Amino acid sequence: MELMLWLDRGLHIFFGVLWIGLLYYFNFVQVPAMAEAANDSDGPGPAAIGKYVAPRALMWFRHAALWTWLTGFYYMMKMYGHSAWMLGVGEESIATTSIGIGAWLGTIMLFNVWVLIWPNQKKVLGIVSATDDEKASAKRVAFLASRTNTMLSIPMLMFMMASNHGLPLF
């Protein structure tokens, strides 16, 4: 059992780094680059990024989010049980409360990826057909959900670290 937990934790860290790394790439590199490319009348425009880079990056992004959540759920349930989902109510364990808060933030972020970001990015990138108004609305929803995840990633990571390293968050 210890080997499975060790392997699961390693996979959770790997997929988490991939997920958050791509989240930061989208917010700090790709979105500004596409806006700059759209405004550059002499350049190639954002088509290359939108056609070749974004769909591939979004595939890795959404699957890294899913596998981060699944491996984290397995690890949390084995180590903390259901009480972590209840934020350690009735226990005197800061670790259980911390991991529970981190897990809930990660769950919100996973929801944003699969329910808000991905369906709307499919419209923006032309993977599914949409009118110009639908694309404009989809772009805004995906943008806001992505920025929300960027903001939630910091406290989520802090709570995850606090559960194992005893950081005094409370």
90-111: pLDDT as tens digits: 887 888 999 999 999 999 999 9
Residue boundaries of the structural domains of the chain: 2-165
Can you say whether the dihedral through the CA atoms of 113, 119, 125, 131 is positive or negative? negative
pLDDT at position 65 = 98
pTM surpassing 0.75?
A: yes
pLDDT at 155 over 80: yes
- pLDDT of 165 over the 80 cut: no
Q: What's at 12, amino acid-wise?
A: H
User: How many Cβ atoms are within 10 Å of 20's Cβ, its own excluded?
Assistant: 21
d(CA 54, CA 13): 23
Which carries the bigger pLDDT value, residue 116 or residue 47? 116
| Mean predicted confidence (pLDDT) in 50-70 | 95
Query: pLDDT at position 42, please?
Result: 85
**Nearest-angstrom CA–CA distance, 170 and 162:** 10
Q: State the pLDDT at residue 169.
A: 53
pLDDT recorded at residue 168? 57
- Tell me what the pLDDT averaged over the chain comes to: 92
